[in-house]
Structure 1
Amino acid sequence: MQLEPLRKLLQERYPELRNETFRVDDTGWSNFVVIVGEKMIFRFPKTEEAKAIISRETQILPQLESMVPVAIPQFVYSSAPTDDIKYVGYPMIFGKPLYREEMNGLSGQEQEKVAEAIGGFLSGLHAYPLEKSFDKAIDPGLTRLFYENFLARIERKAFSYMPVELQRWTRQTFQSFLANPDYFRFKPALLHNDLKPEHLLYDFEKRQLSGIIDFGAMGVGDPAYDFVGIYRAYGAAFTQKVLSHYTREIDARFLERITTFYVKTISFWTLFYGIDSQNEKLIQYGLGKLQAFAKPKRT
C-alpha cells in the first residue's frame, strides 16, 4: 500500500479531511496505518485475516465501550461492505505508552491508580457475553488444541532456526503444560490478547491511564493470558496489584499458567514474525528471549 492513493480516497469521501495532514505510521504488522491531522487514525488491513479482525472489532468494541472504565477506540469512519479497500477510522486517544521506565517513575499512589484502571478494564473485557459475537460453543479444550497446533507449527517452522537444546526445552515446556488438566479448568473469556506497554496510554498531565488501544489480536481464551504482558513489563508485584482490582474468577492455577508457560513461550510470536519478514534482527531477538528461559538456572 502507498499513502497517496489512500489520501485521495479519504479526501474525496470525507471533505472535512481535505485540509488535514497525512502521514504513515509503519509500526503495525497487519495494517497500513495513516495518521490524519495528528488526531485521527485510519487502519487499512493488509491481509484477509486483518480484514476479518477489523470486522470483528467494529462489531464488538461499540458494545464493550460501556463495560470498561478507560477509553478504547471508537470507530467513526469505516468502509462500505462493497468497497475493495477496507478501512476504519477513529479519534486518536492521546497519551504515551507506559513503558517500564515510565511506570517506575510514577509514585506508589499513581501506580495503584493504574493497576485499578487495568484491573477494571480486564474485569469488564472478560465479562463480555461471548454469545453476542461467537457462534460456536467455547470451552477450554479449544485452548489446549490451539497450543497443540502451536507446538506443531513451531516444530515445522522454527526448529530449523533453533539449537537442539532449545528444541528440547520447547517440547518439554509445551508437553508439561498440555499434560496438566488443571491448567484447563478456566472459564473462557474475550481477550485483548496483546496487552503490553505500547498499548497502555498514559496522560502524564492528568496523571492517569488515558486509554487502551490495538484490539487487533482480540479473541477468546484463557483470561490469565491477558496478564502476561503486564507481568513481563512490570513484574509480579504490580501484577498482584492489578489482580487485586480484578473482579472475575481467578482459578487455582491462574497465576501459575502465566509464570510457567505463557511468559516463557510468548516470544515465539516475535520469532515467527522475524521468520515471515526475513528479519534477522527479530529472529535473533526472539531466540535470545526464549534461550533466556531455556538456559539452566545456576544454583
Structure 2
Amino acid sequence: MKSISTSLVQHLIAAQFPQYAHLPISPVPFGGHDNRTFHLGPDMSIRLPSGAAYAPKVEKEQYWLPKLAPFLPLPIPKPIAMGKPSADYPYQWSIYSWIEGETASVDHISDMTKFATDLASFLKALHKIDTTGGLVAGAHNFYRGGPLRTYDSEIQHALALTQDKSYAKKVTRLWEAALSSTWQGAPIWVHGDVAIGNLLVKDGHLAAIIDFGGMGIGDPACDLVIAWTFLKGQCRAVFQKALPFDEAMWIRARGWALWKAFCHPVEGQEEEAQRVIHEALEA
C-alpha cells in the first residue's frame, strides 16, 4: 500500500464526506504506528489503519466506543463517521471528535499519585461494564486479554539468543511464574494498550484515554503493564492498591511487560526497554 499522505486523505474526504472538504487537514505529530492520524478542522480527527493487520479495529471501535463511553469517568474517542475502502485506500477508516490533550509524561503531569489513582479509577470502571456481545481476546486485538502462553514461542526465541545466562535465568523465572496462573473470573473489558501514547493529559491531569483498537474481553492483566512501563515507587504502589487484584494477576502483568520489552523493543528506545525489563524482574 502506498504511503498515507495528506493529499490522499484530502481526496478521501472530498470523495466520501464532501461536507468536510472545506476543512483544513494536517498530520498529527507522532500519529501512531497502527494508524496514521490527521487533524480535520479544529474539532475532528481522521484515523487510517497503516496496514491490513490493524484494519479490523476500525469497525470494532465504531460499534463499541459509543456503548462504553457513558460508563467511563474520562472521555474516550467519539466516532463521527466511518470511511469505506476505495481504489485509493483499501481499508475502512474513521472520523472522530478531537480530544484536546498532550501525551502523558512526567513533565506534563502535576501530581503523579493522582494520575495513578485516576487511571486506576478508569480501569475499574471499564472492568465493570457489561460484556454481553463483547469480542473475546483473539487475533483481532493481538490476544490482549488472552493467555500469555500465546507469546511463549517469542520469549523462548529471544531467550535462545541471550548470551548472559544469569540474565536469561531471571527472565525465565518470571516468565514461568507468569504462565503458572490464568484468569479464573468471567471475561471483563480490557483496553488492550494502556501506554503513555494513549493517555492524554490536560492542565496537569489525566484527561482522556484514546486508541481502543486493542479492546476485547478477557484477563485484565494486560492493562496493568503501565505499573512498570511508566509508574514508579509510591505511584506504582498507589495504583496497585487501588485495583482489587491478587498477586497472581500482578505477576501476569509483569509477564506482559516483560514480553513486550524483551521481544519487541521499540527501535531507538532499547535503553527504555531494558529499564522496563529490570523493573518487571525486580518488582
Q: TM-score, normalised by structure 2?
A: 0.78
The answer as to whether partners of 2:52 and 2:91 remain within 8 angstroms in 1 is no
| Inter-partner Cα distance in structure 2 for 1:18 and 1:143 | 39
Aligned to 2:231, the other structure's residue is in SS state helix
- Classify 1:177/1:294 alpha carbon distance in 2 versus 1 (closer, same or farther; 3 Å): closer
- Classify 1:283/1:40 alpha carbon distance in 2 versus 1 (closer, same or farther; 3 Å): same
Q: Which amino acid aligns with 1:286?
A: A
Q: Which amino acid aligns with 2:273?
A: G
| 1:4-56 Cα deviation digits (max 9, x unpaired) | 22221113322323241322544412112222235422111123331112222
Aligned to 2:55, the other structure's residue is in SS state helix
| Inter-partner Cα distance in structure 2 for 1:167 and 1:240 | 27
Matched with 2:72 is 68
- Classify 1:244/1:26 alpha carbon distance in 2 versus 1 (closer, same or farther; 3 Å): closer
Shift in Å at residue 194 of structure 1?
1.9
Matched with 2:188 is 189
Task: Say which of 223, 235, 251 aligns to 2:220.
Answer: 223
| Inter-partner Cα distance in structure 2 for 1:80 and 1:89 | 11
Question: Are 2:249 and 1:257 equivalent residues in the alignment?
Answer: yes
| 1:60-98 Cα deviation digits (max 9, x unpaired) | 111001110111000102123788332011122101233
Aligned to 1:238, the other structure's residue is in SS state helix
The answer as to whether partners of 1:151 and 1:171 remain within 8 angstroms in 2 is no
Aligned to 2:92, the other structure's residue is in SS state coil
Task: Say which of 36, 57, 72 aligns to 2:61.
Answer: 57
Matched with 2:17 is 14
Shift in Å at residue 174 of structure 1?
1.7
Q: Which runs of 5+ in 1 are unaligned?
A: 137-141
Matched with 1:127 is 128
Shift in Å at residue 274 of structure 1?
4.8
| Inter-partner Cα distance in structure 1 for 2:146 and 2:11 | 45
- Classify 1:69/1:290 alpha carbon distance in 2 versus 1 (closer, same or farther; 3 Å): closer
Q: How does 1:146-161 map to 2 (within 5 A)?
A: 146-156=147-157, 158-159=158-159, 161=161
Q: Which amino acid aligns with 1:87?
A: W
Q: Which amino acid aligns with 1:223?
A: P
Q: Which runs of 5+ in 2 are unaligned?
A: 138-142
Instruction: Name the structure where helix makes up a greater proportion of residues.
Output: 1
Question: Are 2:245 and 1:269 equivalent residues in the alignment?
Answer: no
When the two chains are superposed, the root-mean-square deviation of aligned CA atoms in Å is 3.4
Matched with 1:172 is 173
| Inter-partner Cα distance in structure 1 for 2:108 and 2:53 | 34
The answer as to whether partners of 1:25 and 1:35 remain within 8 angstroms in 2 is no
Matched with 2:163 is 163
- Classify 1:163/1:221 alpha carbon distance in 2 versus 1 (closer, same or farther; 3 Å): farther
Q: TM-score, normalised by structure 1?
A: 0.74
| Inter-partner Cα distance in structure 2 for 1:48 and 1:261 | 29
| Inter-partner Cα distance in structure 2 for 1:9 and 1:143 | 31
Q: How does 1:280-299 map to 2 (within 5 A)?
A: 281-282=268-269, 285-287=272-274, 289-290=276-277
Matched with 2:201 is 202
| Inter-partner Cα distance in structure 2 for 1:144 and 1:58 | 20
| Inter-partner Cα distance in structure 2 for 1:143 and 1:30 | 15
- Classify 1:283/1:27 alpha carbon distance in 2 versus 1 (closer, same or farther; 3 Å): farther
Q: How does 1:111-122 map to 2 (within 5 A)?
A: 111-112=113-114, 114-115=115-116, 117-122=118-123
- Classify 1:122/1:265 alpha carbon distance in 2 versus 1 (closer, same or farther; 3 Å): closer
Task: Say which of 89, 93, 100 aligns to 1:87.
Answer: 93
Q: Which amino acid aligns with 2:128?
A: A
Task: Say which of 28, 44, 47 aligns to 2:48.
Answer: 44
| Inter-partner Cα distance in structure 2 for 1:293 and 1:234 | 12
